[in-house]
Amino acid sequence: MKLKKVVTALALVLPSASVFACASCGCSLNTDIGTQGMGMTEGWTLDIRYDTLNQNKLRYGAKGISQANAALTPNPKTGANAEVEGYTQNNYLTASLDYNDGESWGVTGVLPYIMRNHGTFGVYDGSGDLPPTPGEGAYSSKTAGIGDMRIIGRYFGFAEQKDWGLQFGVKLPTGARNQTGTLVGGGAVAVDPGLQAGTGSTDVIAGIYKFGFINDSENWGYFAQAQYQAAVMVQSIPGSLVGVNGNPGGTYRPGNAANINLGVNYQGFENWVPTLQLNVLNKTTDSGTAADTWATGGTLAYLTPGVLYRLTEKTQVYANVQLPVYQNVNGIQLTPSYIASMGVRVFF
Protein backbone atom coordinates (compact mmCIF):
# COMPACT_ATOMS: atom_id res chain seq x y z
CA MET A 1 0.00 0.00 0.00
CA LYS A 2 1.41 3.36 -0.98
CA LEU A 3 1.92 6.18 1.46
CA LYS A 4 -1.38 7.99 1.71
CA LYS A 5 -1.33 11.09 -0.47
CA VAL A 6 -3.54 13.76 1.03
CA VAL A 7 -3.62 17.50 0.52
CA THR A 8 -3.97 18.69 4.10
CA ALA A 9 -0.76 20.53 4.97
CA LEU A 10 0.71 20.41 8.44
CA ALA A 11 3.36 23.06 7.81
CA LEU A 12 5.28 21.74 10.78
CA VAL A 13 8.34 23.94 11.09
CA LEU A 14 11.37 22.11 12.42
CA PRO A 15 14.69 23.57 13.60
CA SER A 16 16.45 26.15 11.51
CA ALA A 17 19.75 27.89 11.96
CA SER A 18 18.28 30.66 14.05
CA VAL A 19 17.04 28.13 16.58
CA PHE A 20 20.48 26.57 16.79
CA ALA A 21 22.03 29.96 17.59
CA CYS A 22 25.32 29.15 15.90
CA ALA A 23 25.57 31.56 13.02
CA SER A 24 27.27 29.44 10.40
CA CYS A 25 25.71 26.03 11.05
CA GLY A 26 23.34 26.58 8.14
CA CYS A 27 20.79 23.93 9.08
CA SER A 28 17.76 25.09 7.05
CA LEU A 29 16.55 21.56 6.35
CA ASN A 30 12.83 20.97 5.80
CA THR A 31 11.69 17.59 7.17
CA ASP A 32 8.02 18.54 7.23
CA ILE A 33 5.97 16.02 5.29
CA GLY A 34 3.15 18.55 5.16
CA THR A 35 5.05 21.07 3.10
CA GLN A 36 6.52 18.22 1.08
CA GLY A 37 3.02 17.20 -0.04
CA MET A 38 2.73 14.11 2.14
CA GLY A 39 0.71 15.59 5.00
CA MET A 40 -1.80 13.66 7.07
CA THR A 41 -5.32 14.43 8.24
CA GLU A 42 -6.41 16.16 11.44
CA GLY A 43 -4.96 15.26 14.81
CA TRP A 44 -1.74 15.35 16.77
CA THR A 45 1.80 14.63 15.59
CA LEU A 46 4.94 14.15 17.67
CA ASP A 47 8.31 14.47 15.94
CA ILE A 48 11.70 13.72 17.56
CA ARG A 49 14.72 14.69 15.48
CA TYR A 50 18.50 14.44 15.98
CA ASP A 51 20.96 16.66 14.08
CA THR A 52 24.74 16.57 14.18
CA LEU A 53 27.35 18.79 12.53
CA ASN A 54 30.99 19.53 13.18
CA GLN A 55 32.10 23.03 12.25
CA ASN A 56 35.83 22.51 11.78
CA LYS A 57 36.68 24.21 8.47
CA LEU A 58 37.64 27.88 8.49
CA ARG A 59 36.27 30.08 5.71
CA TYR A 60 36.92 33.70 4.87
CA GLY A 61 34.06 34.86 2.71
CA ALA A 62 33.50 32.19 0.04
CA LYS A 63 36.97 30.59 0.32
CA GLY A 64 38.74 28.37 2.80
CA ILE A 65 41.53 29.85 4.91
CA SER A 66 44.26 28.22 6.98
CA GLN A 67 44.61 28.83 10.71
CA ALA A 68 47.95 30.52 10.08
CA ASN A 69 46.52 32.98 7.56
CA ALA A 70 43.44 33.56 9.71
CA ALA A 71 45.68 34.46 12.65
CA LEU A 72 47.28 37.27 10.60
CA THR A 73 44.02 38.64 9.17
CA PRO A 74 42.89 41.91 10.78
CA ASN A 75 39.39 42.26 12.15
CA PRO A 76 38.23 45.64 10.78
CA LYS A 77 35.77 46.06 13.65
CA THR A 78 38.40 45.81 16.40
CA GLY A 79 41.67 46.67 14.64
CA ALA A 80 43.29 43.56 16.15
CA ASN A 81 43.96 40.21 14.51
CA ALA A 82 40.95 37.99 13.94
CA GLU A 83 40.00 35.35 16.47
CA VAL A 84 41.06 31.88 15.29
CA GLU A 85 38.43 29.31 16.18
CA GLY A 86 39.32 25.63 16.39
CA TYR A 87 36.05 23.67 16.27
CA THR A 88 32.38 23.73 17.20
CA GLN A 89 30.75 20.30 17.51
CA ASN A 90 26.97 20.62 17.55
CA ASN A 91 24.35 18.01 18.43
CA TYR A 92 20.66 18.82 18.69
CA LEU A 93 17.70 16.76 19.90
CA THR A 94 14.46 18.49 19.02
CA ALA A 95 10.88 17.65 20.01
CA SER A 96 7.99 19.07 17.98
CA LEU A 97 4.33 18.67 18.89
CA ASP A 98 1.74 19.62 16.27
CA TYR A 99 -2.02 19.89 16.14
CA ASN A 100 -3.93 20.17 12.85
CA ASP A 101 -7.71 20.72 12.74
CA GLY A 102 -7.90 19.12 9.28
CA GLU A 103 -9.71 22.10 7.79
CA SER A 104 -7.75 25.34 7.77
CA TRP A 105 -5.41 25.88 10.72
CA GLY A 106 -2.84 24.27 12.95
CA VAL A 107 -0.15 25.05 15.49
CA THR A 108 3.28 23.60 16.31
CA GLY A 109 5.50 23.85 19.38
CA VAL A 110 9.24 23.20 18.85
CA LEU A 111 11.74 22.79 21.68
CA PRO A 112 15.43 21.87 21.07
CA TYR A 113 17.95 20.38 23.48
CA ILE A 114 21.42 21.63 22.53
CA MET A 115 24.74 19.87 23.10
CA ARG A 116 27.73 21.89 21.88
CA ASN A 117 31.50 21.67 22.41
CA HIS A 118 33.57 24.64 21.29
CA GLY A 119 37.25 25.51 21.25
CA THR A 120 39.10 28.63 20.11
CA PHE A 121 42.76 29.60 19.83
CA GLY A 122 41.89 33.20 20.62
CA VAL A 123 43.70 36.17 19.04
CA TYR A 124 47.27 35.79 17.79
CA ASP A 125 49.52 38.28 19.57
CA GLY A 126 52.31 38.29 16.95
CA SER A 127 54.69 36.05 18.86
CA GLY A 128 55.31 32.32 18.64
CA ASP A 129 54.79 29.90 15.80
CA LEU A 130 52.06 29.67 13.20
CA PRO A 131 49.56 28.00 13.07
CA PRO A 132 48.94 29.72 16.39
CA THR A 133 49.24 28.08 19.75
CA PRO A 134 46.48 29.11 22.15
CA GLY A 135 46.78 32.84 22.65
CA GLU A 136 44.89 35.61 24.35
CA GLY A 137 41.29 34.60 24.97
CA ALA A 138 41.79 30.91 24.08
CA TYR A 139 39.19 28.77 25.82
CA SER A 140 37.04 25.66 25.54
CA SER A 141 33.42 25.22 26.53
CA LYS A 142 30.66 22.65 26.73
CA THR A 143 26.98 23.51 26.43
CA ALA A 144 24.09 21.21 27.33
CA GLY A 145 20.59 22.49 27.85
CA ILE A 146 17.24 23.52 26.45
CA GLY A 147 17.32 26.09 23.66
CA ASP A 148 14.75 28.65 22.56
CA MET A 149 11.18 27.47 22.00
CA ARG A 150 9.21 28.31 18.87
CA ILE A 151 5.44 28.35 18.52
CA ILE A 152 4.26 28.40 14.91
CA GLY A 153 0.68 28.89 13.76
CA ARG A 154 -0.51 28.38 10.19
CA TYR A 155 -3.52 28.93 8.01
CA PHE A 156 -4.09 26.86 4.88
CA GLY A 157 -7.77 27.42 4.11
CA PHE A 158 -7.22 29.61 1.05
CA ALA A 159 -7.66 26.85 -1.55
CA GLU A 160 -9.93 23.83 -1.72
CA GLN A 161 -6.90 21.59 -2.26
CA LYS A 162 -5.25 23.05 0.87
CA ASP A 163 -1.93 22.85 -0.95
CA TRP A 164 -0.51 26.17 0.24
CA GLY A 165 -0.56 28.21 3.39
CA LEU A 166 0.91 30.95 5.54
CA GLN A 167 2.99 30.53 8.70
CA PHE A 168 3.22 32.96 11.59
CA GLY A 169 4.80 32.55 14.97
CA VAL A 170 7.22 33.56 17.68
CA LYS A 171 10.51 32.37 19.16
CA LEU A 172 10.71 32.73 22.92
CA PRO A 173 13.92 33.26 24.97
CA THR A 174 13.71 29.97 26.92
CA GLY A 175 17.35 28.96 26.42
CA ALA A 176 20.01 29.72 29.04
CA ARG A 177 22.62 32.43 28.35
CA ASN A 178 24.86 32.12 31.39
CA GLN A 179 27.34 29.57 30.08
CA THR A 180 31.03 30.05 30.79
CA GLY A 181 34.10 28.38 29.33
CA THR A 182 37.51 27.55 30.71
CA LEU A 183 40.50 29.63 29.66
CA VAL A 184 43.62 27.74 28.58
CA GLY A 185 45.56 29.59 31.27
CA GLY A 186 42.90 28.88 33.89
CA GLY A 187 39.84 30.75 35.04
CA ALA A 188 36.36 31.30 33.65
CA VAL A 189 35.37 33.26 30.56
CA ALA A 190 31.97 34.25 29.23
CA VAL A 191 31.05 32.25 26.11
CA ASP A 192 30.18 34.28 23.01
CA PRO A 193 26.44 35.15 22.86
CA GLY A 194 26.06 33.34 19.53
CA LEU A 195 27.25 30.08 21.12
CA GLN A 196 24.92 30.13 24.12
CA ALA A 197 21.92 27.79 24.27
CA GLY A 198 19.57 30.76 23.89
CA THR A 199 19.78 34.11 22.14
CA GLY A 200 17.88 36.09 24.79
CA SER A 201 15.65 37.55 22.10
CA THR A 202 11.98 37.30 21.24
CA ASP A 203 11.64 36.83 17.48
CA VAL A 204 8.75 36.97 15.05
CA ILE A 205 8.47 34.34 12.31
CA ALA A 206 6.58 34.52 9.03
CA GLY A 207 6.50 32.12 6.11
CA ILE A 208 4.69 30.66 3.13
CA TYR A 209 4.67 27.18 1.60
CA LYS A 210 3.30 25.37 -1.45
CA PHE A 211 3.30 21.76 -2.62
CA GLY A 212 1.81 19.66 -5.41
CA PHE A 213 2.54 17.08 -8.09
CA ILE A 214 4.73 17.77 -11.11
CA ASN A 215 2.65 17.91 -14.33
CA ASP A 216 -0.19 16.15 -12.52
CA SER A 217 2.00 13.10 -11.98
CA GLU A 218 0.78 10.52 -9.48
CA ASN A 219 4.22 9.95 -8.00
CA TRP A 220 6.51 12.96 -8.46
CA GLY A 221 5.79 15.67 -5.92
CA TYR A 222 7.35 19.08 -5.35
CA PHE A 223 7.44 21.47 -2.42
CA ALA A 224 8.65 24.99 -1.69
CA GLN A 225 8.91 26.96 1.52
CA ALA A 226 10.18 30.42 2.44
CA GLN A 227 10.50 31.67 6.01
CA TYR A 228 11.82 34.81 7.67
CA GLN A 229 12.77 35.33 11.31
CA ALA A 230 13.74 38.58 13.03
CA ALA A 231 14.33 39.60 16.66
CA VAL A 232 11.94 42.27 17.94
CA MET A 233 12.86 42.28 21.65
CA VAL A 234 16.35 41.78 23.10
CA GLN A 235 17.74 41.48 26.60
CA SER A 236 21.06 42.54 28.06
CA ILE A 237 23.72 39.98 28.94
CA PRO A 238 22.65 38.32 32.23
CA GLY A 239 24.13 39.70 35.44
CA SER A 240 25.71 36.36 36.27
CA LEU A 241 28.18 36.90 33.41
CA VAL A 242 29.04 40.53 34.10
CA GLY A 243 32.54 40.59 35.55
CA VAL A 244 33.53 37.12 34.31
CA ASN A 245 37.04 37.60 32.86
CA GLY A 246 36.35 41.32 32.60
CA ASN A 247 33.09 40.85 30.69
CA PRO A 248 31.27 44.20 30.93
CA GLY A 249 27.91 42.84 29.79
CA GLY A 250 26.01 44.54 27.00
CA THR A 251 23.32 43.79 24.45
CA TYR A 252 23.00 41.10 21.82
CA ARG A 253 20.65 40.84 18.85
CA PRO A 254 20.91 37.82 16.51
CA GLY A 255 20.90 38.59 12.81
CA ASN A 256 17.73 38.24 10.76
CA ALA A 257 17.45 34.90 8.98
CA ALA A 258 15.75 33.98 5.70
CA ASN A 259 15.35 30.31 4.70
CA ILE A 260 14.27 28.99 1.31
CA ASN A 261 13.65 25.27 0.76
CA LEU A 262 12.90 23.73 -2.64
CA GLY A 263 12.46 20.00 -3.13
CA VAL A 264 11.06 17.02 -4.96
CA ASN A 265 9.95 13.62 -3.73
CA TYR A 266 9.01 10.32 -5.34
CA GLN A 267 5.97 8.53 -3.93
CA GLY A 268 5.85 5.54 -6.28
CA PHE A 269 7.24 2.99 -3.81
CA GLU A 270 5.12 1.17 -1.28
CA ASN A 271 6.75 2.47 1.91
CA TRP A 272 9.83 4.45 0.85
CA VAL A 273 9.79 8.12 -0.20
CA PRO A 274 13.14 9.48 -1.48
CA THR A 275 13.53 13.26 -1.37
CA LEU A 276 15.95 15.82 -2.71
CA GLN A 277 16.12 19.38 -1.41
CA LEU A 278 17.94 22.62 -2.03
CA ASN A 279 18.22 24.52 1.26
CA VAL A 280 19.35 28.15 1.25
CA LEU A 281 20.00 30.27 4.33
CA ASN A 282 20.83 33.98 4.42
CA LYS A 283 21.59 35.52 7.81
CA THR A 284 22.64 39.07 8.55
CA THR A 285 25.37 39.85 11.06
CA ASP A 286 24.59 39.92 14.76
CA SER A 287 24.43 43.32 16.42
CA GLY A 288 24.74 44.83 19.89
CA THR A 289 27.56 45.89 22.17
CA ALA A 290 28.34 42.26 23.13
CA ALA A 291 27.99 40.81 19.61
CA ASP A 292 30.54 39.80 17.02
CA THR A 293 29.48 42.23 14.30
CA TRP A 294 32.06 41.03 11.76
CA ALA A 295 32.27 37.22 11.81
CA THR A 296 28.58 36.24 12.00
CA GLY A 297 25.99 35.56 9.33
CA GLY A 298 26.37 34.84 5.64
CA THR A 299 24.77 32.95 2.77
CA LEU A 300 24.82 29.15 2.69
CA ALA A 301 23.29 26.62 0.28
CA TYR A 302 23.00 22.87 0.72
CA LEU A 303 21.91 20.00 -1.53
CA THR A 304 20.10 17.48 0.64
CA PRO A 305 19.26 13.89 -0.34
CA GLY A 306 16.98 12.10 2.10
CA VAL A 307 14.50 9.31 2.59
CA LEU A 308 11.33 8.69 4.58
CA TYR A 309 10.13 5.20 5.53
CA ARG A 310 6.76 4.22 6.97
CA LEU A 311 7.13 1.68 9.77
CA THR A 312 3.40 1.52 10.49
CA GLU A 313 0.26 3.42 9.52
CA LYS A 314 1.08 6.02 12.19
CA THR A 315 4.87 5.87 12.56
CA GLN A 316 7.51 7.12 10.12
CA VAL A 317 11.28 7.46 10.28
CA TYR A 318 13.46 9.68 8.08
CA ALA A 319 17.10 10.61 7.45
CA ASN A 320 18.80 13.40 5.50
CA VAL A 321 22.34 14.57 4.75
CA GLN A 322 22.98 18.22 3.91
CA LEU A 323 25.97 18.70 1.61
CA PRO A 324 27.28 22.26 1.12
CA VAL A 325 27.26 23.60 -2.43
CA TYR A 326 27.89 27.26 -1.54
CA GLN A 327 29.22 28.86 1.64
CA ASN A 328 29.89 32.60 1.80
CA VAL A 329 30.30 33.79 5.37
CA ASN A 330 30.86 37.22 6.83
CA GLY A 331 34.38 37.56 8.23
CA ILE A 332 36.14 34.32 9.21
CA GLN A 333 33.95 31.51 10.48
CA LEU A 334 33.86 27.76 10.99
CA THR A 335 31.66 25.77 8.61
CA PRO A 336 30.70 22.07 8.47
CA SER A 337 31.48 19.54 5.75
CA TYR A 338 28.00 18.04 6.13
CA ILE A 339 24.95 18.03 8.40
CA ALA A 340 23.29 14.71 9.24
CA SER A 341 19.70 14.46 10.49
CA MET A 342 17.44 11.59 11.47
CA GLY A 343 14.09 11.42 13.17
CA VAL A 344 10.86 9.63 13.97
CA ARG A 345 7.33 10.97 13.56
CA VAL A 346 4.22 9.52 15.24
CA PHE A 347 0.60 10.42 14.45
CA PHE A 348 -2.07 9.96 17.10
pLDDT tens, 179-233? 999 988 888 888 999 999 999 999 999 999 999 999 888 899 999 999 999 999 9
Select from 178, 211, 209 the least CA-distant residue to 195. 178
Q: Which of 138, 51, 150 is nearest to 98 (CA)?
A: 150
The kind and range of the H/E element at 69 are helix 67-71
Tell me the pLDDT band of 2, cut-offs 50, 70 and 90: very low
CA dihedral 236, 242, 246, 248 (to 10 degrees): 30
Residue 71 domain-assigned (yes or no):
yes
Residue 127 belongs to a domain: yes
Residue 156 lies in a domain: yes
pLDDT 10s digits, 98-151: 999 988 999 999 999 999 999 999 888 777 777 667 666 789 999 899 999 999
pTM of the model: 0.90
Residue 144 within any structural domain of the chain: yes
Whether residue 40 is predicted with pLDDT greater than 60 in this model: the reply is no
In a domain, 169, yes or no: yes
- Note whether residue 69 is domain-resident: yes
Can you spell out the DSSP letters for 153-205?
EEE--SSTT--EEEEEEEEE--S----EEEETTSSEEEPPGGGSS--S-EEEE
What is the Cα 238 distance to its own chain's centre? 24
Please report the pLDDT score of residue 170 as a whole number. Answer: 98
Report how many domains make up the chain: 1
Tell me whether residue 2 is in a domain.
no
- Give every CB contact of residue 246 below 8 A, 6+ residues apart in sequence: none
Average pLDDT estimate for 23-33? 58
Banded pLDDT at 9 (limits 50, 70, 90): very low
> Do residues 279 and 257 make contact, with C-beta atoms less than 8 angstroms apart?
no
In this model, does residue 275 exceed pLDDT 70?
Answer: yes
Query: Where is average pLDDT lowest: 38-52, 60-74, 324-338?
Result: 38-52
Percentage of the chain lying above the pLDDT 90 cut: 69
The CATH number for 71's domain is 2.40.128.130
Q: What whole-number distance in Å separates Cα of residue 232 and Cα of residue 46?
A: 29
Side chain identity, residue 146: I
**Rounded to whole angstroms, how far apart are CA atoms 275 and 220?**
10
Mean pLDDT of 254-260: 96
Q: Is residue 1 part of a domain?
A: no
- Domain interval for residue 284: 17-347
